Structures are given as C-alpha cells and as structure tokens.
Structure 1
Amino acid sequence: MPDWTYHPLRGIAAALLGERRSQLAALKALATVGSLPGGGRIVACGLGHRHAPRRLAGQIAGVDVRVRLGAVVPPAVARHAVRALPLLGAGLIEIGPVSSADVGQVRDAVAGRRIPVVARTSDPDTKAALVALVDAVVTDDYVHPRSVHEAVQALAEPSTVVFATPDLLIREGPGWFARVIDAAGPVGGRRGFSWLWGLFLGVGMIVAGLAAVAITLGPVLLWYDRDYLGVTTIGPHLGHFLQHDRISLAGSMIALGVLYVGLSAGGIRRGWPWAREALLVSGWVGFPTFFYFVGTGFVDVLHLVATLALFPFFLLATRRRAGGQRRPLPDGPRRQWRHALIGQLLLVITGLGIVVGGAVVSVIGLTTVFVPSDLTYLHTTTEVLQAANPRLLSFIAHDRAGFGGALMSAGIGIAALSAWGWRRGESWVWWTLVLAAISGFGCALTVHGEIGYTDLGHLAPAYLGLAVTIVALVLARPYLCARRPIP
C-alpha cells in the first residue's frame, strides 16, 4: 500500500498509529480536506501541484485525460485515493487488480470522481460488472516508471500513459506528481518583461523599508505626523516605543522586497508559473491593507505615496505571460533529499505562522492597539494615553495594523516559495529565504534589544521563528544549493 504521508512526519505518524494506519489516516485526511469548500485548492497549492502543460494531455482506452500521469491503487483504498490524488497532480486513477468481490468498493470509489478512473481485471464477469461504473476497463499493464526521469522520458511519447506504483509513491512521496509535471514542462520560450516589473517592485519595497528605518532613527516624526498629533516633540520612552513599531514594520517591508526580487529574478524570469502566483497572492493580501486607515483614522502620507508608486509595478509583474523553465536537477542523495523535505516543512509552517501572527497583530492594531506587555513597557494605561492626546492611539494603531499587514504578506510569500519552489539546485530560493530572514527577524529583534523591550513572552514567537528558520535553512542548503553540471 502506498505511503501517502509527507515524509518528514512519516516516522512520527507510524510510531503513533502504526505504518499501515498512518498511511491510510493521511490519505483519508487529504481526501476529507479536499472535499471541503476551497479545500481542494488549499491542498493543491500546499503540496505544489501546478498547471500541467497541454502536451501532457492524451487518451487511455479511448478516454480523454488532462494529464497522462496517474497512479495504481488497490480497491481497498480506492475511495480515498480517487478524492485525494487529483489534488496532487494525478490525471487518472487505475484501480486494480479488481475481482468480483471488489466491485462494491469500486462503485463507492468512483462516485463524484473528478478525473477518469479505469479498472483493471482479467475476469470477463467482473469486467461486465465494471463497464457501467468506471470510464474504462483495461487488461493491459501500462508504463510503471521507477523515477521522475523515467516518467519524463515515457511521457515524451504522446501515446504513453504513466502510472505510479505503490512502491514508487512510498519511495518518492506525494510530491512526485508535481515534480514529474515540472520536469516534463516546456523549457525556454518567451518570458516577456513581467519579471523586470516584479524586480522594480521588490527593489522599491526595499528602498521604502530602508527609508522608513532612516526616518525612524532620525526625527521619528515627520511634519504630517506632528500636524496630526498637534505636537512638536514626544517623550523618549514613547519615542522608543514608536521606533520599535516602525523599524519592525520596515524590516518586514525589506523582507517582502527581498522575496519579490527573488520570485521575479529567480522564478518569473525563468518561466515558473508558481512564482507569479506566489507574488500575486502575497501582493493581493498586502496592498489592500493600506485601507486599514479607515479603521485607524490616520493616513500616513509616505505610505500612500509608496502604495501608489508600487502598485502599478505589481499589476505589470503579475500579468500572464508565456514562458519556459529550467529542467530541475534529480533529487540527488536520499539523505540530502530527506533533510531538505524536513527543512521545507519547517519553512512552510514558519510562513503560515507568520501569516497567523500578522493577522493577530492587525486585529490588535485595529481594536485594542496594545498588548499587556506594551503597557508594562510604557508604564502607563490606555486611558492615560487617550487622555494625554486623543489622537495618539489612532496614530500608534496605524503602525501596528500596517505591521500586521506586512507580516501577512511576507508570511504568504515565504510559505508559497517554500511549498512551490523547493527544487534541487535552485540556490536563489535558499538565498532569498536567508536574506528575508535576516531582514525581518534582524530588524525586529535588534530594535527590541536596543530600546530595552525584552519581555520574553512578547518576543517568544520571533525567537521561535528564527530558530526554526535557521534549522530549516541549514538542513536545506546542500539540496537547494547543489551545483548544476557544466554542459
């Protein structure tokens, strides 16, 4: 029976449930999540299933298939496999071998199927019972590759249909379909200038972040800040608090710019469709957070100028363009690959954690503004601050909510890059994540230390995120930074 679990967790799941039970539990979970509204897209995106090129379409036994790439599953797990495997990139499912006793299981499995399902049997009576249930009944044995390379070679012949065996999926894991589709995709082609606009967008984000750092370390308040608050100066303690908010926000902006530069120059330029989609999703989460000012009541002029200047670059960068891509390197040594999978999982979790953290910060910024440790650091209460200056809370709320929005956008970029861009030899992925981590974590932790805001509970998420990121990048470096052979 194939192993449907994600490899880094296989040992844990097997220890808790037993090998067979862990495999079936993972398959059931995947099928269940995929059946929920929007669940199929979440699973497909999370496990790296991308768009298959048209040349991989074809037929099997007279049945049209979108991708000539499928899997052989036994009747006992067919119901869950038919619902789960299409989310990973499978274009068809073969259930087999099927006996007369398995007809009921096949009937349950094919109900509501999303892709063609064929059944394999050599028994005439069983075949007669299956004809009305499945898309085709076959007796022939199709191509069963032993690696990604063999699958790609077989798919080069337009009439060939490739099926992954249980043994192959045990060895290669559920990402095998996506890796084959990537490797069989087009190489070369017209890429357009979308990547260049994305590069300008990323550089603009970095420049804006650096400018925010310079302003915060200098006057802290600009003329429109002073006009809004009705003051010319602020106390040093409150000034330090504002600095910690704004430099943390600036670090997130720089990290986001680094991610956009990497996705554009390393991904979109080379024709990877997932790179454009990662930029698209991250941007459509980040740019609308500008409208947080509706909830805070304060409009930051420089924030407005930066948004208006950079948004056109975002639109130009995410236009659909035909393009090509590089052939991915083979997965290499098994130990190296497994370590890379652990690193990938850790970084996806880190990215999603940052998204959740950003959402929490946004909600706090738009509601209570402060967490208890903030008020402890300031040695005051919300009521005292409100009485001192009625506009102060909305001013601080803008920075906090904006920081949350930048975190969400950056977290999505990290999670998407880690989930979709994990290919051996793509060193730009590793360097992009390294520089983004240095920018984001470095700015936040440094400014907290400089102003003496070192509450462990407040900083625990940042310390944990940094530690997990370091471990993940160390594990992944040999895989992502593997050298390509010289032609």
Structure 2
Amino acid sequence: MSARPGGRWIVTRTFGHRPPPGELAGSLAGIGLATRLGAVVSPAVARDAVRALPTQGAGMIMVTPVGPSEVDVVRDAAAGRRCPVFVLTADPAVSLALAPHVDAVLSDGAALIQLTSPAIADALASLADDTKVVLATPAALLEAGPGWFQRVTEAATSTDPAPGISEVGRDLRRWPAWWWGLLVGIGMIGAGLGAAAITLGPVLLWYDRNFLGLDRDRLHGVNHHLVHFLQHDRITMAATMVAIGILYTGLAVGGIRRGWPWARNAYLASGLIGFPTLLYFLGTGFLEPLHTAVAVALFPMFLIATRRSPARPQWTIMPEGPERQQRRALTGQLLMIITGLGLFAGGAVVSVVGLTHVFVPSDLVFLGTTSEELRAANPRLLPFIAHDRAGFGGALMAAAVAIMGLSAWGWRRGEAWIWWSLALAAIAGFIPPVLVHSHAGYTDFWHLAPVYIGIFLTALALLLARPYLCAGRSAWPRHGAGQSRRQGGGGVR
C-alpha cells in the first residue's frame, strides 16, 4: 500500500501513527535522522523494508551484508526511498559501487546497536545514548508483531500530568476536548435509553401519530404484527445508540483525555459517518423531530471534541508480557476488526435497503403481507418504517467504525478501558435486539444469524484478549519516560 500513490499518507493517517519525539532525533555518518530507531535487513528484503518500514515508524534502514552480486538489488531498493538508507560493508568495491545510490556506506558498526529482542525496555535503554542508532533485526520484528516502532516511540515520548479541575474552572473555552467528547457519549446513551423507553411504552409520539394519521390501536388494525415490528426496529436502533455512547465515552475518557491521537481519529471518523445520516430523511420523506434535536444538540460538542489532535500525552506504557499472551491478544484483535468490518457491511446494506426496498424478505414473511398492501393501507407507512431502518443502518456503521478504530489502533497491554468499552458496547448492542426479536416472535434464524455471529466473534475476541488488555499496572513505576530510561526501568510513563 505504501508504494502506491497516496498510500503512505493512508497508512500513517489511518493507523494512528505519532511523529517521534525530538529527543530521538540524531544523525549517522553526517545524515540527519528524524529518529534513531531503524531496522537492519538483508539485501533480499531491502526493497520491501525501504517501502514499508518508514510508514511504520522506522527512521532509517541499514542493509547488510552486501556482496558484489547484490549491488544491483540494493541500488534498486534504495531508489525512491522515503527515509535514509545505509549500507554496512567492508568491501571497497561494494562501497564504491553503492555510494552514489544510498545515503552513506559504513565500514564499521560502532555507532549501531542491533536488537534481537523486541523488549521495549531494551530499546529505550539503548536509545538513551544519543550517539547510538538502534536497529531492530527481522527476528525482533517478527517476534514483536505489528506496531513495534510505534510502541517504542510512544514509550519514549515524555508525558505530562493532566490539568486539574481548578486549572480549567467553569470557563467553557478552557474545557478540555475530552470533556466535550464525554458529554456526547453521555448524550448518546441518554438518547438511546429514552428511545427505548418510548418504544416499550407508547411506541408512537405525537409527531408520529400526526405523520401517519394513526394511533397505536389503528396501527395494530392495519397489521397485527406491525406494532411489534416497529418495536423490534426501534429497540435495535436504541441499543446501537447506547453502544455508540459507550464507545464514545471510552474514547473520550480513556483515549482523548490521555493524548492518544488515534482515539481522536476514531471518534472523528465514527461521528463523520453517524451525524450525516440525519440527512437520510431526504430519501425517506420523514424527518423525526426528536432525532433531529439530539443530533443538533450533540453535533457542536462533537466538533469541539475532535477539532484538533490531543496535544498533551498522558499515557502509560507497559511491557508486552509473555509472548503467548500477546499472540492470543493479536488473534482477538483480528477477530474484533473482522467483527467491525462485518457490522459496517451490515449497516451499509441496511441503509441501502431502508432507502430503497424498506423490507427484506423475512420481514414480509413475519408481517404476513406485502409492501404494496401496506402502501395501500397508508401511503405514509413505508416512509415511516424506512426512516427507522435507514437510521439504524447509519448508526450501525458509526458504531462499526468506532469498534474498528479501538481494535486496530488501541490494542495495547494494560489498556483495560478498551476491553471494557468493547465489552459493554457489545452487551448493549447485541443483547436487546435478541430479546426484542424473541418477544416479538420474529425468530427467523437467517435474519438473526449476523447477530449470533457477532456475539460469538466478540465474546471469543474479548476472552482471548482479556489477560493482555486487562494486565495489572500496580507493579509498574509511575515516573516519566525520561526518568524511566535513565533508571533502566521497564515501565514507562
């Protein structure tokens, strides 16, 4: 991807990478380095390393050993490079042939430290000597799994304490972004619970009755399954709203508050999909006042919460722990990303169906009628139902993007808030729809199969990842990153 036009920008932006701190900058053989953290590779994989690893956070690539027969391979690998490329060789002929094509050719590795272990504490201890360049070997990168450069960069970033309440006061202009993000999350939870209460109570509010020209009893008279059908649609929508609120609360408190750039990006991406779905009314013909009021009230807070990247890192970093635990967590991470992709695809399908056909075949089987018969009974009935269906699809896509952002970018040992955000959102998002389908008697297996699959994948993913994400921090020091490196500690703040 990074070799394609625009691919580098996509990788660095969508994977939540953070620029290296200034204290990691340095030089090698007179060549400036944005970070003294790089990789050492053989000529056989140099081309891929030069294109891929800089987007992951590598500040330079060292190629060694290089013989006369590999000069052309290294020269081609270095062409179009986006970070400095060096060659380490004692062969004068190789040095002479490659000097015009790489940034520098070294005859000795005195300034280099090669890491065969992916331990973050080892990398930090080596980087403490600002005259050295630290290179990860392929073996270390394979053992570390995805994101090693980024994790070391995060651990090396100095952090500051969060501002106290007294520093902020009541001046809204000084409220931190995460407070506004938290308010949006709480607002979404409250709106979802309110929608559920309405659905389990009167079902129709005054504006619903005015639009349809029907009350609940007359709606039941049109089709004796219709009230239950509306309840099943609206409870599912309400549950998704609560799930989104939980995810936004987690991203605000656990992510944006602690300065994680990826948390703001996940929040922003989700909201930019969710809020515009209000415009679905242009396709359905029904504008719900309560939905509109919630969106209008929360959208300015959302903009304030996401208007800029967090500027003050406050995170803590833990060592990766046992390899077995990490690999199980990576499997869980993959399953959560797959779940998020599935939810997004499902939301897109529901949105399209809601804006076009309104019903899927199993809906009409449950209702025991056809779209034409419902339209003949009340011309406004289909647009009314379409609003609920399309709105649910948009909310599902917004939730899916938040889930994928948390899973793809936030998977770090000891970040228990990620586990709890996903677990609580799953409970809120999956359980009520299953219960309301059962209550309504709408139990078609294939209709509910995506929900069952989502429950299974999420439960398995969280089970595999729990020891990793919820690892305790009590034994780790709480001093700053710079202090930790000087003392050689493994726990970094």
TM-score, with length taken from structure 1: 0.90
**Residues 349-390 of structure 1, C-alpha deviation per residue, up to 9 Å, x if partnerless?**
111211111111111111111111111111111111122222
* Runs of 5+ consecutive residues of structure 2 not aligned to the other structure: 164-174, 478-493
Give the counterpart of 2:287 among 273, 280, 299.
299
8 Å Cα contact 1:48-1:175 kept in structure 2? no
Contact 1:68 1:92 in 2 (8 A): yes
Cross-structure match for 1:99:
67
2:18 maps to a residue whose letter is R
1:354-369 matches, within 5 Å, as: 354-369=343-358
Residue 440 of structure 1 and its aligned partner are, at CA, apart by: 0.4
Say if 1:48 and 1:419, in contact at 8 Å, map to a contact too.
no
Equivalent residue number for residue 259 of structure 2 = 271
Question: Alpha-carbon deviation of 1:203?
Answer: 0.4
Out of 166, 183, 197, which is 2:155 matched to? 183
Structure 1: give runs of 5+ residues left out of the alignment. Answer: 1-32
Which residue pairs with 1:8 in the alignment?
none
Amino acid at match of 1:298: F
Counting aligned pairs with the same residue, the percent is 59
- Name the structure 2 match of 1:452: 441
In structure 1, what is the Cα distance between the partners aligned to 2:334 and 2:254? 21
Change in Cα spacing, 1:164 to 1:129, as seen in structure 2 (3 Å) is same
Contact 1:48/1:178 (<8 A) preserved: no
Superposed, 1:116-131 pairs within 5 Å as 116-131=84-99
Compute the TM-score of the two structures, normalised by the length of structure 2: 0.88
Q: Is the 8 A contact 2:41 2:138 kept in 1?
A: yes
CA RMSD of aligned residues (A): 1.7
Q: Secondary structure at the match of 1:150?
A: helix
For residues 413 and 140 of structure 1, what CA distance do their matches in structure 2 show?
Answer: 48
Matched pairs, number: 455
1:326 CA drift (Å): 2.5
1:93-172 equivalent positions in 2, closer than 5 A: 93-141=61-109, 142-145=112-115, 146=117, 147-172=119-144
How far, CA to CA, are the matches of 1:54 and 1:319 in structure 2? 25
Deviation of the 1:319 alpha carbon:
3.0
CA offsets per residue over residues 181-229 of structure 1, 9 Å max, x none?
1211222255661111111110000000000000111111111111111
**Equivalent residue number for residue 216 of structure 1:** 199
Amino acid at match of 2:136: A
Match of 2:456 in 1: 467
Describe the superposition over 1:297-339 as per-residue Cα deviations: whole angstroms up to 9, x where unpaired: 1101011100011011111111324212233111112221111
- 2:24 matched to 1:56? yes
Per-residue CA distance 1:54-84 (angstroms, 9 max, x = gap): 3333322222232222111111111122112
Quote the residue 2:466 is aligned against: 477
Match of 1:11 in 2: none
Residue in 2 that maps onto 1:25: none
What's the counterpart of residue 341 of structure 2? 352
- Are 1:231 and 2:214 matched, yes or no? yes
The structural deviation recorded for 1:47 is: 5.5
Contact 2:38–2:59 at 8 Å: present in 1 too? yes
CA contact (8 A) 1:69 1:163 kept: yes
Q: In terms of mean alpha carbon deviation, does 333-342 or 250-259 score higher? A: 333-342
Q: Does the CA contact (< 8 Å) of 2:162 and 2:314 recur in 1?
A: no
Evaluate the alpha carbon distance shift between residue 483 and residue 196 of structure 1 in structure 2; reply closer, same or farther with a 3 A threshold.
Answer: same
Counterpart code for 2:151: R
Correspondent of 1:389 among 353, 374, 378 = 378
1:449: how far off?
1.2
The code of the aligned residue for 1:252 comes to T
